[in-house]
């Protein structure tokens, strides 16, 4: 985000398919931390970690408000 000169971290979306991805998004202060179920972890695994959204696929990202 620093290299891209992002000034509003709360507008950043981080999407990932592992608990570590969700933790990275939270630790970075991203406003949207999205778990996607098309990868390594199950809904139960990702759901146990803080996130703003849990989606079936990255293809569902455009439907977020």
Residue-wise pLDDT for 19-48, tens only, equals 999 999 999 999 999 999 999 899 999 999
Q: Is residue 23 situated within a structural domain? A: yes
Question: Of all helices (H) and strands (E), which one includes residue 32?
Answer: strand 32-36
pLDDT score, position 55: 97
Kindly state the average pLDDT of the residues 3-30.
Answer: 95
Q: Is residue 3 situated within a structural domain? A: no
Q: Is residue 65 situated within a structural domain? A: no
Q: Is residue 55 situated within a structural domain? A: yes
Q: Is residue 1 situated within a structural domain? A: no
Residue 43 structural domain: 9-60
Which one, of 2, 41, 6, 5, lies nearest residue 23 by Cα?
Answer: 41
Q: Is residue 31 situated within a structural domain? A: yes
Burial of residue 59 (number of CB atoms within 10 Å: 0-12, 13-18, 19+): exposed
The Cα 31–Cα 38 span in angstroms is 22
Q: How many domains does the chain have?
A: 1
In the chain, the N- to C-terminal Cα span, in Å, equals 22
């Amino acid at each position: 985000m620093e290299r891209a000169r992002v000034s509003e971290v709360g507008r950043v979306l981080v999407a990932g398919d592992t608990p570590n991805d969700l933790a990275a998004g939270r630790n970075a202060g991203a406003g949207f931390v999205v778990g996607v179920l098309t990868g390594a972890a199950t809904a139960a695994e990702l759901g146990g970690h803080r996130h703003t959204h849990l989606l079936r696929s990255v293809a569902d990202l455009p439907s977020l408000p």
